[in-house]
Amino acid sequence: MARLELLTLLLSIQALLENGNEDAAKKLIAEVISEAKRKDSDN
């Protein structure tokens, strides 16, 4: 993941949490973890 992509992702999660949208933040985190595991197993 490129640095800019990581920064964008973290800012998105931060904004969700600051607006009280904890469930959406958790969902986004779970999706990123799932994607990272998928990409890791592709190698």
Task: Confirm whether 24 is domain-assigned.
Answer: yes
The pLDDT, as a whole number, for residue 39 is 80
Alpha-carbon distance of 19 to 3, in angstroms, equals 24
Task: Confirm whether 2 is domain-assigned.
Answer: no
Task: Confirm whether 34 is domain-assigned.
Answer: yes
The domain containing residue 31 runs over which residues? 14-42
Task: Confirm whether 3 is domain-assigned.
Answer: no
Task: Confirm whether 33 is domain-assigned.
Answer: yes
Nearest to 27 by CA among 2, 9, 41: 9
The pLDDT, as a whole number, for residue 43 is 59
The domain total for the chain is 1
The pLDDT, as a whole number, for residue 42 is 72
> Roughly what angle, to the nearest 10 degrees, separates helices 22-42 and 3-18?
160
Task: Confirm whether 36 is domain-assigned.
Answer: yes
Could you report the per-residue pLDDT of 1-43, keeping only the tens digit for each? 789 999 999 999 999 999 999 999 999 999 999 998 998 777 5
pTM for the full predicted model: 0.80
